Amino acid sequence: MNYGQFLYMLPEFALVVALIIVFAFDFFSSKGGEVRKTMGNLTFCLLLIVITTTFSVMRQDETITAFGGLYVASQAVNVMKMILAFGTCIVVIMSQSWIETRSRVAGEYYMLILSTLLGMFMMMSSGNFLLFFLGLETASVPLACMVAFDKDRRNSAEGAAKYILVATFSSGVMLFGISFIYAATGTLYFDDVAAVITAKPLTIMGLAFFFSGLGFKISLVPFHFWTADTYQGAPTPVTGYLSVISKGAAALTLCIILMKVFAPMIEYWEYMLYIVIVLSITVANLFAIRQSELKRFMAFSSISQAGYIMLAVMGNSQIGVASLTYYVLVYIVANMAVFTVINVVERNNGGRTDMAAYNGFYQTNPKFSFLMTLALFSLAGIPPFAGMFSKFFVFMAGVQQGDPAAYFVVFIALVNTVVSLYYYLLIVKAMYITKTDTPLPTFQSDAHTKCALAICTVGIALFGICSCIYEWIAAASL
């Protein structure tokens, strides 16, 4: 065995080392407030090292394969790893003010974040269904613990229970599908499956079960029923993490497996994808209009955004992979800006997250209102913000094959963009137009919150205008 192959897994090893360092620091230190703050800063610095390490293993036009094809890391996967680690950095920064109110659980929180990110890295770099499933579960189980982190809140325990039950059920469905694929092909390696798989009843059922299981993870309709309750019950930083980081990893993995493993069966999964995309975008938008609780509102927004992300998969090409990766990057900065503001308001307003709490918000907190508006406009795809460019690229990828059905799906997505603009403007209306006698008091944010909002705002403003970012992602995807 060539032990030098382990060097190809430097991003994963860097995360393991970071996890051990955080564990040791938590174990040997006291539980004071300064230690909790130091632990957050330490985790942030370790994530920066992970990003640097991942960048160092990128090689031009080279896909890394190790352990007989069990581990595969293309340049596109490494770019997504860096993007997800970057998004996790923002989550760690915005979590600082919240975790400081928790007496003895800061170490556990940061270890859970690093553990679930490690699972996502392994899932994206898998070349075998077994490693893929192990990575998926490594990511899912810590997420359930993070959702239940506020043990004193009933909603948190309820959200975690629904998440773990649905995750268990979806994992069972997915394993059922993988067993069908193994029975039909006699292998679990992606390359070997792609070489022998044909459209038979057994493989079609395996594809349907596998797609359904991963659809639960991405919150695609009709596999989305857990999302709103879990997002509402989870602590706000965890909700932000769920909405972007885990969704981005699962979306890229699904894209790779459909394009690589199930390419000979494209005529089956292509129309399955069309139906799911139309349902996800349309149903989520209609339900979002009815929401009065902001975290549930953002849950249906994330379901709709997942539908837009899947438009890139329709292209079945490297341009689709690049568009998906770029969309996730833009979605991270826009969505995390919204959740950072929600987190600040929640902490300064007795835990309220209903939309009525934002009535007259501009009167007392104009800066937060302005940043919230920028983020919502980016999510809606209004120019010149980055969200408009990300939607343009996924629309372009969706119609690349020239299929008339694909044009219809993209048209439905365009119509739903107008609908999404309406419900995003409901929040803007509450902040700027709706009058109230008891607006939120004026409050100041801490340095970590300001840093998180600054990073997100710069991303919203520049990720679309700076074409070099998309060009770098597209070059890595070729």
Local mean pLDDT, 10-residue blocks, the chain (478 residues) = 75 92 83 69 91 81 78 88 93 86 75 93 91 91 86 76 87 91 90 88 91 88 86 89 90 90 87 91 91 89 92 83 92 93 85 82 88 92 88 89 85 91 90 82 84 92 86 82
pLDDT at 474: 85
CA angle 340, 384, 357 (to 5 degrees): 30
| Nearest Cα to Cα of residue 327 among 386, 403, 262 | 386
pLDDT at 19: 92
From the number of C-beta atoms within 10 Å of its C-beta (0-12, 13-18, 19+), residue 32 rates as exposed
pLDDT at 354: 82
pLDDT at 21: 92
pLDDT at 3: 67
pLDDT at 31: 62
| Nearest Cα to Cα of residue 282 among 311, 251, 303 | 303
From the number of C-beta atoms within 10 Å of its C-beta (0-12, 13-18, 19+), residue 58 rates as middle
Q: Which helix (H) or strand (E) holds 29?
A: none
pLDDT at 120: 93
pLDDT at 81: 92
